Structure 1
Amino acid sequence: MNQAKKSFKELIHGDKPVLVDFYADWCGPCKQQAPILKQLTERVGDKIRVVKIDVDKAQAAANQYQIRSIPTMILFKDGKIVWRQSGVQPLHTLEGLAKQFGG
């Protein structure tokens, strides 16, 4: 378990911004968000990294970041939260974040 936490911590302290999607397989809005995230990665390439975290499998991470509703997205830059929002996010909003924080 500590190794998983360490890996996540290392990931969010990486050289590029990391958009973390906290989701669950049974969540309807999360299923709506998935193709939007796929489009985002196709459009912005490697400006940001997108990571999906299943709250049912990673309850410690969900608790650590006080995830109360899903989907919740958190954008980390240099290990710090620079943006956080719950609910389905439109592509243009996420693209704007990639441009703003991804260079």
Structure 2
Amino acid sequence: MKILDSLESIDKFIKDNKVAMLYFSSQNCGVCVALLPKIKELLNQYSNIGYAKVEIDELQLAVGKYSIFTVPTIIMFIEGNEIIRESRFISIIVLQDKIRRFYDFI
């Protein structure tokens, strides 16, 4: 998974991918570590979704810009517009249902 380490790289990633998913996490977050492999496995089904990770410990400015109040947080963008936001206790099943709703139209 690509790791984005600046606000500029995040903006570029969102702009360069028609569908972009950002995974905000912290190194001290056990839930973040446990959830990441499940997210990767889920996204293997959706080849058109670009995804990347943002470590908030390394990039505090992202917390304010993207209103991250807890981790993990997943934000999905289509053509630069936020369409999905899930935080803290993220259900893979619910997330997959939300992705499917939008994925058929892109």
The two structures share one fold, judged by TM-score above 0.5: yes
Q: Give 1:101 deviation, angstroms.
A: 2.6
Is 1:13 the counterpart of 2:15? The answer is yes
- Contact between 1:16 and 1:102, CA under 8 Å: does it hold in 2? no
Change (3 A) 1:16 1:93: farther
- Contact between 1:13 and 1:77, CA under 8 Å: does it hold in 2? no
Task: Please give the alpha-carbon distance, in whole angstroms, between the structure 2 residues aligned to 1:72 and 1:102.
Answer: 20
- Structure 1 residues without counterparts, runs of 5 or longer: none
Is 1:42 the counterpart of 2:44? The answer is yes
Secondary structure at the counterpart of residue 95 of structure 2: helix
Q: Which shows bigger deviation, 53-62 or 91-100?
A: 91-100
- Name 2:3's counterpart in structure 1: none
For residues 3-41 of structure 1, what are the alpha-carbon distances to aligned partners after superposition, in whole Å with 9 as ceiling and x for unaligned?
A: x32321121123421111110111011122112112112
Higher strand share: 2
- Name 2:68's counterpart in structure 1: 67
TM-score normalised according to structure 2 size = 0.79
Q: Which one has more relative contact order, counting CA pairs under 8 Å at least 6 apart?
A: 1
Task: Please give the alpha-carbon distance, in whole angstroms, between the structure 2 residues aligned to 1:51 and 1:69.
Answer: 18
Once superposed, which parts of structure 1, at least 4 consecutive aligned residues long, lie more than 4 Å away?
Answer: none
**1:70-89 matches, cutoff 5 A:** 70-89=71-90
Task: Please give the alpha-carbon distance, in whole angstroms, between the structure 2 residues aligned to 1:75 and 1:68.
Answer: 16
Task: Please give the alpha-carbon distance, in whole angstroms, between the structure 1 residues aligned to 2:91 and 2:77.
Answer: 19
Instruction: Report % sequence identity.
Output: 26
Q: Give 1:91 deviation, angstroms.
A: 2.3
- Structure 2 residues without counterparts, runs of 5 or longer: 1-5
Secondary structure at the counterpart of residue 82 of structure 2: strand
RMSD, aligned α-carbons? 2.0
